[in-house]
A and B are shown apart, each in its own frame.
Chain A
Amino acid sequence: QKEVEQNSGPLSVPEGAIASLNCTYSDRGSQSFFWYRQYSGKSPELIMSIYSNGDKEDGRFTAQLNKASQYVSLLIRDSQPSDSATYLCASFSGGYNKLIFGAGTRLAVHP
């Protein structure tokens, strides 16, 4: 079973700081990676997708992919209390549209 692993946290950061979320994956064939945010009691919401090695920026969010190290990360700049949520890392593995999710990292941004 191919896996995606994340530190479950909680990761606690002060407001305005950079939050760094990390993820590793075992399937070397994986080509597509996704970060979702999930608030308590809600469904996952897509933040970013990344397919190529390097960085991809979207507003306060930067995703980083290193296929050689099988490592994906998400940086959140200027963290806000509204960013407090569980962040899920996912990749396709095992056939059509099968997303494998990590357990999620709980982020807490305190004022």
Chain B
Amino acid sequence: KAGVTQTPRYLIKTRGQQVTLSCSPISGHRSVSWYQQTPGQGLQFLFEYFSETQRNKGNFPGRFSGRQFSNSRSEMNVSTLELGDSALYLCASSLAQDTQYFGPGTRLTVL
């Protein structure tokens, strides 16, 4: 089975721009969770989608949003980028409320 895929792998943006990241879960997995990883804050939960519905949301500003499509693929969007948004963004897939498998991540640099 193919693993979790994320695109793009690397992104460089400037402050004020917006960005969209994509995640394709493992085939058959319906839950997609997103995390942000920074050296200072570690891994932090952004949100989780299951069957196109956001079921859970972390403590991030409204500039961070996401959605999930009927094929379980998910996107997250960050608007009005700030320098502090530079991070590794990780997507994880799972069947339901169970073991999560991470994709390779998208490294976002905001200049």
Contact = CB atoms under 8 A, between A and B. Distances in A.
Interface of A: 32, 34, 36, 42-46, 49, 88, 90, 92, 94-104
Given A96-B50, A96-B97, A99-B100, 4 more contacts: A34-B100, A43-B90, A98-B33, A98-B56
Interface residues of B, number: 25
B102 A45 contact: yes
B31 A98 contact: no
B56 A94 contact: yes
Contacts of A98: 33, 45, 48, 56, 58
B99 interface: yes
Interface of B: 31, 33, 35, 42-45, 48, 50, 55-56, 58, 88, 90, 92, 94, 97-105
A97 B58 contact: no
B48 A44 contact: no
Question: Taking chain B's interface residues, is the majority helix, strand, or loop, or is none over half, making it mixed?
Answer: strand
Contacts of B48: 96-98
Nearest to B104: A43
Contact of A97 (B44, B55, B103, B104): B55
B99 A34 contact: yes
A105 B31 CA distance: 28
Contacts of B44: 101
